[in-house]
Amino acid sequence: MKWFKHMSDLPRDEGVSRYLDAAGKDRVTAYGFLMLLLEAIASRMQVQEGDLICSATYSIPHWGRITYSHPNRVRKYLGTCEVIGWVLVEFEGGMCKVSIPRMLEWRDEYTRKSGLTPDKVAQSRADQKRSDQRESRSEDSPPDRLTAEIPRRTPPPNFEVTEDLQEWAAKNHPAVDIEKETAKFRNYEFSREYSNWDARWKTWIQRAAERQGKLNGTSHPPNDNDELLKIAVLLGIEKRTYECETDYCSRIKRINDQRISNLGT
């Protein structure tokens, strides 16, 4: 068993009181020995032929390890407990069998008052714990609106790469295979619908160029974008969500040119 019942006023039990008095100044040590003895017996309780056996058999040195006591002290305290009728001690060879019948009395009293045996209480608590865990998982589960599948979007069937888009790509990213990347773009499922698919296509081509540049060992296309991006930081010009880098840099250039023009007037 994993736990055992004992009286809350155990030190005032007549037999235990005499046992502690016999221990004198070592009353606390003697009481600790008794509790460790009870725990050791409880851990070995088992049913044999319909009867609950409240005993355990170990060597005296092993009893000493269980109760953190010297073997001589084990013999002394066991002898005292036996005299007051608390335990039954039997020696056979090098083994010492210790029985505590009082544990059956406590168990029977608990059963009479509660209508439950300790094993049923343990099972009931285990069942309740599993039930609480299931309820907790249910409460912690995200609502249906969060677990629902997010709709995916592809470019509209009527999307066309116009002559203007082709010229833009040929001018800014001549190394990119427009036909191949456009096919990928049409088949890709985006997380949301875009209001400006032309701008989204430009961003796609821009990223394709960046990937290709990395593969070829060049991190940037040959243009003046780096300088313009530095100017954007100085002027606090932020990139808009729908802008590709080329459009962003064009806007930076316009703002900077206007700034320079205003300074000259």
Per-residue model confidence (pLDDT) at position 128: 60
Could you tell me if 182 and 161 are in contact, meaning their C-beta atoms sit under 8 angstroms apart?
Answer: yes
d(CA 23, CA 151) in angstroms, rounded, equals 79
Domain boundary among 71, 90, 111: 111
Per-residue model confidence (pLDDT) at position 201: 92
Q: Are strands 55-59 and 88-92 parallel, antiparallel or unpaired?
A: unpaired
- Listed in sequence order, the residues at least 6 apart from 82 whose beta carbon sits closer than 8 Å to its beta carbon are 88, 89
How many domains are contained in the chain?
2
> 258 lies in which domain range?
163-264
Domain boundary among 70, 91, 111: 111
Per-residue model confidence (pLDDT) at position 210: 86
Per-residue model confidence (pLDDT) at position 161: 92
- The answer to whether residue 98 sits within a structural domain is yes
- The answer to whether residue 152 sits within a structural domain is no
- The answer to whether residue 46 sits within a structural domain is yes
- The answer to whether residue 64 sits within a structural domain is yes
Per-residue model confidence (pLDDT) at position 170: 86
User: In which residue ranges of the chain is pLDDT below 50?
Assistant: 1, 110, 116, 118, 121-122, 145-148, 150, 219-222
Phi and psi at 123, nearest 5°, equal -65, -40
d(CA 51, CA 177) in angstroms, rounded, equals 86
- The answer to whether residue 150 sits within a structural domain is no
- Residue 184 sits in the same domain as residue 95: no
pLDDT digits (tens, 9 = 90+) for 175-209: 889 899 999 998 888 877 888 999 999 999 998 88
Report the candidate in 39, 37, 42, 83 with the shortest Cα–Cα distance to residue 60: 37
pTM, entire model: 0.40
- Residue 186 sits in the same domain as residue 103: no
Domain boundary among 111, 132, 149: 111
Could you tell me if 81 and 30 are in contact, meaning their C-beta atoms sit under 8 angstroms apart?
Answer: no
Per-residue model confidence (pLDDT) at position 147: 45
User: CATH no. for residue 72?
Assistant: 1.10.10.10
Per-residue model confidence (pLDDT) at position 105: 67
Report the candidate in 94, 81, 106 with the shortest Cα–Cα distance to residue 4: 106
Report the candidate in 71, 129, 131, 116 with the shortest Cα–Cα distance to residue 96: 71
- Residue 28 sits in the same domain as residue 106: yes
Per-residue model confidence (pLDDT) at position 226: 76
Per-residue model confidence (pLDDT) at position 198: 92
Per-residue model confidence (pLDDT) at position 19: 85
